[in-house]
Structure 1
């Protein structure tokens, strides 16, 4: 009898294969007190386990095929760096010495303390990086416990199409499994920003996450059909269902081949309106992947990674080197977002900005933190201004909620520019824009637009703040709805304000890279999109098949009816279906 299960689809595609459960193999941590004479020996044992864990990761990295997207190797590089992170190593060694704890317990306590910090972070993307801490510490713990087996599978080599079911999967395991016959991933936990989601999208492997009790409900070896777009998993499908999904698979293969032909074609609608498609990237190496998918530039480059996993903040020269490399590597414009961390994350040699807030999402973060710690902000701004002449840079300020914040930040940037001029440096004047991700900023967009040179709509946070939900929280992420009339109205207000002021408006949230929403966004007036590089060609296809003039008239009337009469859901569904 077939079983229909639903989770969160995070990587598009259809996969058919046999279920194979990846057991978490939960570790049992022994706890004992060391004799004074054994303490330094235990420290040596910990460092030895750390070295062995790093060797394992280097072996995994060496197996990554040439031509693989840069963000794949970046996950392993991040874990290698974290192996040496003093907040892990120094804290563990200190506990061994002060408490005379065995290394396993000391590492476990250091891990728990660090995860508590990440759990308080307001940014969903950064908060899910707590998984990195767990995976790194778990790998060292396995070496300490002589339980180094990474995969608990029924065979060492997978030879038939296989769907992996797990509670969670480490980046290293995903990379290794992707090189075998694994055709899909299904996890019991996680969301759109989990490691499984990000890596599966980059590798082009269908994935469904947040499917609770999947391993309990599905039998080992049972045939599964995974729809990574809808989030559905069909266990023990009937013959007709299997035939239907195999036809869909074949159609998708042909569809992907046709998409590659669009790479060098313009993103121009049927009625001749030009749309600009940019990429979101995190590392200089990602610029090549973006270009290979036809990106015209970079619409979002995150700078937080320079500040993470370290106690002291990066120097001006270190930041200049990083920004110069990425700006030089990008063909076309690049929008760099200034630091988007919260007060709960120490980035300045351990100096905190006060106690951790109860609700950091509404506290001292992003531009608010930068305006409070102006020394840190000025260091970053000076590095950005120095790097700007290497390409077409724009500077974007995150979490602007009122005009005063934007004007104060702009004044600091101008002050830094004058400082650099006085030092005899030739400094460019990159446009300064605002990231619209707070409902207040969207409502006041017409006011802010008189001072900003451009807007970028960050739908991930805009949706969360508007609907008061946390999409990383499994208990409420079902309420995350990009199509809520309030969200669409805020997007429309922002686009209209930008058009009235004559400034560019782009969108860099996940909504921009989902082809189901492309026609809707075109109808709202959006003509600049920024997304993960792997989504570019699909969105370009929808653009080239659309008449934007017709869509604008249709969407305007539809949204007005939804807001005033609570009608139009069926028409909206038809509009979305036409773009998929």
Structure 2
């Protein structure tokens, strides 16, 4: 067989080498038939039994997680358990069997397709990919109904490398639960046809530090069982049946990466100071209170972005069962206490037309430009003030900063500040403690906000640039749309102008500015952001040490001069060349 390469979406860096193990194809293609009226309740019972079996499987996986496991792992299993208990899978398919007399598999797939179609209308990348979680839970039920299994061969610890190589799992898709079941096997990496940067499976891969490439479209049909595979998780490249020379070259790279990671581990307690003595603050982005453990372990100076959406996830179709103030307070307090005096920046709920809390809500014609984030919260003041009260209460247990997403207008800022004042007054009247001086900041993720920054500087205590949305809104590019994703470019002159302007104006006004988008955790842009004057970076904890190493090797004064030259040019080739020169310096 001739060697060939495939390109996909990199989600977890590193190199993995091993034999391909193909999982069974998707179970969604099932038999469709009608059952007789006398068999309806038996079919209902068959589906209920399958759901009960899956619930037991997930609970077993959850219970067997080692205590040292990353917190995300248990949380994702909890999300799947919540989905399994939701009426959309636990009750509606049963009604379809009773009303239409579909067989159990057909009824389940019909409902999954209906819910999936609703999620397809969601613009937000993170929320849209939650459709995958619903499909994965449904897939698990279908595998019980159809008698198919998802297994890997046992690891032969006595065999040599040729007889018992590491396994590269190749599949149409893999659920986090399946990945956790594989953890004690010879599981070196995985490749999937589906998936994206923010799928739960991708997040689990990063948490477990497993090299992975997703979104490869036809990989599971092109790769054959037992093919030798190389995964380059950083480049998003998969090499099938490599030559001995290529195989040796990647083995050497793999060894170098292992040595480099061990070296990075020694930087955990080192302060992030440039060569010319400027200290940089490195913060962590988290989604769950338990993420504070990895953040502290990586040496983060605090939490720069706590996405509060996770509290509202897994409740699709249960709008009347949103998290209470008590539930939210407990989670925020847990994070604040876990950070042991380091600041925790909590972003208020970023949901709306593109992230419906109720699956039955009508989706906007253009959700990305619709009623979302702060627009949604201002339109739902009861929901908003409940969250604000919970965050304020948590501020009594350690330093908390409040971050408001998607602000664009002065009246939005003023309305937000008024509601915060109301929440504070309620707590005072109830004699509930909170930090009266809690800082309030704005996400700068809409070009209008960046261009009208003085009205933010006048009203807010700090600013945080969300580069993901800022780039997409500036370039009118949805980076998950394969037809235009190649146009998504953090180095576009317009993006660089907005970034540098916000950082410079913030510093001139004496207001702290951080970057919490993906650019902050990508070492390709570390020196550029330093050269713009950025002193606070917030990122996934897994990237923190690599960024710190780049900072330790950077001369801020020299970078400032180089960056000014980059900002003066609008030619992409000149910018690219200058970036290469900057990183080589």
Q: TM-score, normalised by structure 1?
A: 0.93
Say whether 1:188 aligns with 2:193.
yes
Aligned ranges 1:263-302 → 2 under 5 Å: 263-302=268-307
CA contact (8 A) 1:7 1:232 kept: yes
- 1:305 is aligned to 310
In the TM superposition, residue 426 of structure 1 has moved relative to its aligned partner by 2.9
Aligned ranges 1:140-219 → 2 under 5 Å: 140-147=141-148, 149-151=149-151, 155-157=153-155, 159-219=164-224
Question: Between Structure 1 and Structure 2, how many residues are aligned?
Answer: 571
1:334 to 341, 344, 350: 344
- 2:353 is aligned to 343
Aligned ranges 1:525-536 → 2 under 5 Å: 525-536=533-544
Distance of 1:346 and 1:2 partners within structure 2 = 45
CA contact (8 A) 2:278 2:556 kept: yes
2:407 to 389, 396, 400: 400
Aligned ranges 1:468-547 → 2 under 5 Å: 468-547=476-555
In the TM superposition, residue 130 of structure 1 has moved relative to its aligned partner by 0.7
1:567 alignment partner, SS class: helix
2:27 alignment partner, SS class: coil
In the TM superposition, residue 227 of structure 1 has moved relative to its aligned partner by 1.4
Say whether 1:320 aligns with 2:325.
no
CA contact (8 A) 1:395 1:432 kept: yes
In the TM superposition, residue 27 of structure 1 has moved relative to its aligned partner by 4.2
1:255 to 257, 260, 263: 260
Aligned ranges 1:314-463 → 2 under 5 Å: 314-331=323-340, 332-343=342-353, 345-347=355-357, 352=361, 355-429=362-436, 430-463=438-471
CA contact (8 A) 1:57 1:80 kept: yes
In the TM superposition, residue 301 of structure 1 has moved relative to its aligned partner by 0.9
- 2:235 is aligned to 230
- CA offsets 1:99-147 (integer angstroms, 9 cap, x no match): 3433323222222222222222222111111110000111112222333
Distance of 2:171 and 2:453 partners within structure 1 = 44
Q: Label 1:92 to 1:26 Cα distance change in 2 as closer, same or farther (>3 A).
A: closer
- CA offsets 1:187-215 (integer angstroms, 9 cap, x no match): 22322222342222111121222223223
- 2:161 is aligned to none
Which deviates more, 223-232 or 534-543? 223-232
CA contact (8 A) 2:268 2:299 kept: yes
CA contact (8 A) 1:278 1:528 kept: yes
Which deviates more, 253-262 or 416-425? 416-425
Q: Label 1:17 to 1:494 Cα distance change in 2 as closer, same or farther (>3 A).
A: same
- 1:240 is aligned to 245
CA contact (8 A) 1:516 1:577 kept: no
In the TM superposition, residue 317 of structure 1 has moved relative to its aligned partner by 1.9
CA contact (8 A) 1:122 1:342 kept: no
Distance of 1:178 and 1:33 partners within structure 2 = 40
2:479 alignment partner, SS class: coil
- 1:57 is aligned to 58
In the TM superposition, residue 344 of structure 1 has moved relative to its aligned partner by 5.3
Distance of 2:505 and 2:313 partners within structure 1 = 35
CA contact (8 A) 1:366 1:398 kept: yes
Q: Label 1:562 to 1:345 Cα distance change in 2 as closer, same or farther (>3 A).
A: closer
Distance of 2:41 and 2:19 partners within structure 1 = 49
Q: Label 1:370 to 1:192 Cα distance change in 2 as closer, same or farther (>3 A).
A: same
In the TM superposition, residue 246 of structure 1 has moved relative to its aligned partner by 1.9
Q: Label 1:209 to 1:34 Cα distance change in 2 as closer, same or farther (>3 A).
A: closer
Distance of 1:483 and 1:178 partners within structure 2 = 38
Which deviates more, 317-326 or 339-348? 339-348
